[in-house]
Structure 1
Amino acid sequence: MNHLFPYIERTLLHPGVTINEQYEALDEVTQLGMAGLTVAPFWVKKFRRELGDTHPAILSTVIGYPFGYQRTEAKQTEIEWALKDGASEIEVVLNTSALFSPASVWLKIELAKLVSMVHAQEKFFTVILETSLLDQEQIRTVIKLATDAGADFLKNSTGVLPATFSLETALQFRQLVPQSVGVKIVADGATEEQLEELVKAGVERLALGHTF
């Protein structure tokens, strides 16, 4: 399992997450050399203090979580505070509701604005898609939007909706995303062998909520 640790992001976004649970995940990240820690915006400032400014682990947080249908201005404010608090990566949830409506043209404008904010601070930008709600054409459309906007990573799920991990679906997502863009897969429920398959296929980050 050790060889997988550099790909794993411990992700703590469920509504009942406790401070002790987060400290346990922080210990795993620092002691096992994991890629990073993803926390709710409320916790970013605290865990930046815990990690310090020079630790190599990514400290990521979510914007517009969990469904992405906040106004762009609200997301901009969330990003501003997250960056001030010390986030080194921003994950923005795509507004799926807009995608399903004539307002879908606004998604391109929104992503361009948000990517610009994050990249101006030289931080990473991830777009989260709820792929279980989208058909293949919609997934391709959103991937192109996010890629054209300059996203660094695409993530296949928020982890909020009930879902069973599917290696086939995860691998298909990696194939659809251009190699120039990183891929994160929510991999709770995957076996060690399946995690290895994802890494071999070029998945850069494995988002896991469970402990080791």
Structure 2
Amino acid sequence: MKLNEYIDHTLLKPTATVEEIKKLCEEAIEHEFYAVCVNSSRVELAAKTLKGSRVKLAATIGFPLGASSLESKMVEADAAIAQGASEIDMVMNLGLFKDGEHKAVLTEIATIKTAIGNNLLKVIIETCYLNEEEIAGASELVMKAGADYVKTSTGFGTRGASLKDVEIMKKVVKGKIKIKASGGIRDAATAREYIDLGVSRIGTSSGIKIIS
């Protein structure tokens, strides 16, 4: 198992500078990480820095709250793809989900997926705010809506991923879509536990530490 091939090398802090984004991309190229994950305002810069490399580029949408309108998420996703992203990490509308507006949540995810076409859509369900039943229900919605991945966390909630979260998600999606674990994964042993459980991607700002 080559850990670097599972890692989305991530920098999403609001204060991230041009130099820090460039460094992130250069590290991803050097260590052959699978992808880089940045806020949508930094996609153009990241795309330029990654040009000619095999590293994929993911942009966050509706981040970190998921509470922005579908219309604004659409504009953000379209712009990110136009500027060079090939993967979108979108936060699900948690308020709508908590209200039981599951059809609206499904429509939002399906609409974004249709808009970005063959590009990958990962949907963050922010498990720290959900009980076990809700984690299962949200994973089901993400799968039904046609997303490519269900993702645990933004890293900005009350906690990050847990192995229990992933076990619940795995039982629901049954390999039909992939799982990304993110938030609080900072060492190789933890990363391996998630991969052994069936996770296809790890989102982390500790990628270099993990592979070292």
> How does the TM-score come out when normalised to structure 1?
0.90
Aligned to 1:137: 133
Letter in 1 for 2:62: G
For 1:21 and 1:180, how far apart are their aligned partners in 2? 36
Does the 8 Å CA contact 1:11/1:39 hold for their aligned counterparts?
yes
The residue type paired with residue 45 of structure 1 is: E
How many residues get paired?
208
Q: Which shifted more, 159-168 or 92-101?
A: 159-168
Alpha-carbon distance change, 22 to 160 in structure 1, aligned in 2, over 3 angstroms = same
Structure-to-structure mapping, 1:62-141, within 5 angstroms: 62-119=60-117, 122-141=118-137
Shift of residue 94 of structure 1? 0.3
Runs of 4+ residues deviating >3 angstroms = 164-177
- Distance in 2 of aligned mates of 1:181 and 1:165: 18
Report the counterpart of residue 161 of structure 1 in structure 2: 157
Secondary structure class of the residue paired with 2:2: helix
For 1:16-48, what per-residue CA distance to the aligned partner results, in whole angstroms no more than 9, with x for missing partners? 222222222212210111011001111101111
Measured after TM superposition, the shift of residue 74 of structure 1 is 1.0
Distance 1:144 1:166, change over 3 A: closer
The amino acid across from 2:110 in the alignment is A
TM-score when normalising by structure 2: 0.90
Counterparts of 1:163 and 1:4, CA distance in 2: 23
Structure 1 gaps of 5+ residues are none
Percent of counterpart pairs with the same letter?
Answer: 26
Residue 134 of structure 1: how far off its partner (Å)? 0.6
Cα RMSD after superposing both structures: 1.9
Partner in structure 2 of residue 177 of structure 1? 173
Other-structure match for 2:56:
58
For the residue of structure 1 that corresponds to 2:154, the secondary structure is coil
**In 2, distance between residues paired with 1:71 and 1:138?**
22
CA distance in 2, matches of 1:144, 1:173: 8
Q: Look up the match of 1:38.
A: 37
Q: By how many angstroms is 1:124 displaced?
A: 0.6
1:195 partnered with 2:194: no
Looking at structure 2, the residues matched to 65 and 29 of structure 1 have their Cα atoms a distance apart, in angstroms, of 22
8 Å CA contact 1:7–1:204 kept in 2: the answer is yes
Provide the rounded CA distance (Å) in 2 between the counterparts of 1:103 and 1:169. Answer: 22
